[in-house]
């Protein structure tokens, strides 16, 4: 496609993109990112790998990337967007996912078919055995009618042997079929449990995901007043995360998120504590029963511990800080309103310069502050990112 200038000459679209082309590129990039964010593990491709591939293609389509693009731009050649490559990748990935889901459904169908086969075989064998016993009984009745004592004795012994044999075979068959069915059910149960666990976990950090968090918050809020407990939540955001991806690459950014997740799990070791990835660079910790003072102390431990992390990369070490919004469950709170108050407190912490805690006491407007000791503020370069559209200045 060519776009016409005012003087009638034409230039390649890559040299002078129109607003509609920009919108189309943004749409393609957003579709790729959405596809990556909702990826799932298959037999040979992890969700993390799919997300990285989609992010890479989105970058190539919008701003260019890779050695070939760099060499072309260095030579003064116009940048060409590899739409055909995107289409091939997307088609191949969706085809692979469809085959994987098809195989998984096939396993479920096979378990159902195995159950049906067991029933059918049992009924068929029982019918054949019943016919055999009936035939032997007919012979015994015939012997009685003949009044031949030897024939009666012989046929009576015969029916005893037939019944014993049928019972033995039926018992053996039932044991075998029950064993096969039990194994199928065990395999299916394990597979369903694995799928259920994967559905509740974030593939990158192996923490609980947003859906699991939302359900847990509602349960805690519903039970808190009945149990007279005082739960608290921490909403944690990695400061300046965008700079990590821009300066060190997405792989380094993923490693930062994994290290933060590991650090949170080590701090919140109690079985009842619930640690989840909220999305992006944000994490949420639900403390089911704690005074606000103790929750503040644990928030300070988070500031201290995560500020001491050092993540090695090929471009140097990364040091991070976090901002935290803390909220205790207030009277009348739902899971959603409780989380919203913690989010408002986190927003206050970001606005106060980051690397600190803000506490929402009874409402989003009642916010107290905790700042970390000066000694825990890293002197080295920190990271950057906006939260859900917020700029670094926020």
Which amino acids are annotated catalytic?
Answer: 281
Task: Give dist(CA 283, CA 280) in Å, integer.
Answer: 8
Check if the beta carbon of residue 329 is closer than 8 Å to that of residue 222.
no
Rg, C-alpha atoms of the chain: 33
Task: Give dist(CA 131, CA 152) in Å, integer.
Answer: 20
Distances from the Cα of 55 to the Cαs of 34, 64, 84, 89, in angstroms? 10, 12, 16, 12
Check if the beta carbon of residue 361 is closer than 8 Å to that of residue 328.
yes
Check if the beta carbon of residue 52 is closer than 8 Å to that of residue 251.
yes
Task: Give dist(CA 266, CA 303) in Å, integer.
Answer: 13
Of 142, 133, 157, 330, the closest CA to residue 233 belongs to: 330
Task: Give dist(CA 305, CA 223) in Å, integer.
Answer: 31
């Amino acid at each position: 496609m060519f776009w016409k200038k005012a003087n009638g000459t034409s230039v390649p679209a890559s040299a002078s993109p129109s607003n509609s082309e920009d919108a189309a590129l943004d749409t393609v990039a957003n579709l790729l990112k959405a596809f990556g964010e909702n990826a799932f593990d298959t037999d040979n491709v992890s969700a993390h790998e799919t997300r990285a591939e989609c992010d890479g293609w989105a970058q190539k389509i919008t701003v260019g990337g890779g050695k070939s693009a760099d060499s072309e731009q260095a030579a003064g050649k116009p940048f060409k967007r590899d739409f055909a490559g995107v289409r091939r990748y997307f088609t191949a990935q969706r085809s692979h996912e469809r085959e994987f889901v098809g195989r998984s459904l096939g396993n479920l169908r096979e378990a159902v078919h195995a159950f049906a086969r067991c029933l059918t075989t049992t009924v068929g064998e029982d019918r054949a055995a019943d016919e055999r016993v009936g035939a032997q009984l007919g012979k015994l009745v015939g012997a009685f009618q003949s009044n031949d004592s030897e024939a009666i004795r012989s046929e009576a012994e015969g029916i005893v042997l037939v019944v014993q044999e049928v019972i033995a075979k039926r018992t053996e068959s039932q044991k075998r079929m029950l064993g096969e069915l039990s194994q199928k059910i065990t395999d299916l149960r394990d597979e369903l449990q694995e799928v259920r666990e994967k559905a509740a976990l974030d593939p990158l950090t192996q923490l609980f995901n947003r859906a699991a968090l939302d359900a847990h918050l509602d349960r805690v809020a519903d039970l808190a007043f009945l149990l007279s407990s005082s739960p608290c939540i921490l909403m944690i955001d990695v400061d300046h995360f965008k700079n990590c991806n821009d300066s060190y690459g997405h792989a380094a950014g993923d490693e930062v998120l994994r290290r933060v997740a590991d650090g949170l799990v080590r701090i919140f070791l109690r079985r009842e504590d619930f640690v989840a990835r909220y999305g992006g660079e944000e994490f949420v910790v639900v403390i089911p029963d704690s005074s606000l003072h103790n929750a503040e102390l644990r928030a300070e431990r988070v500031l201290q511990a995560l500020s001491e992390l050092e993540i090695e990369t090929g471009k140097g070490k990364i040091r991070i800080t976090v901002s935290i919004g803390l909220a205790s469950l207030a009277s009348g709170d739902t899971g959603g309103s409780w989380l919203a108050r913690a989010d408002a407190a986190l927003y206050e912490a970001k606005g106060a310069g980051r690397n600190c805690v803000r506490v929402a006491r009874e409402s989003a407007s009642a916010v107290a502050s905790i700042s970390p000791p000066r000694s825990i503020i890293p002197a080295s370069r920190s990271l950057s990112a906006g939260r859900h559209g917020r700029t670094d200045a926020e």
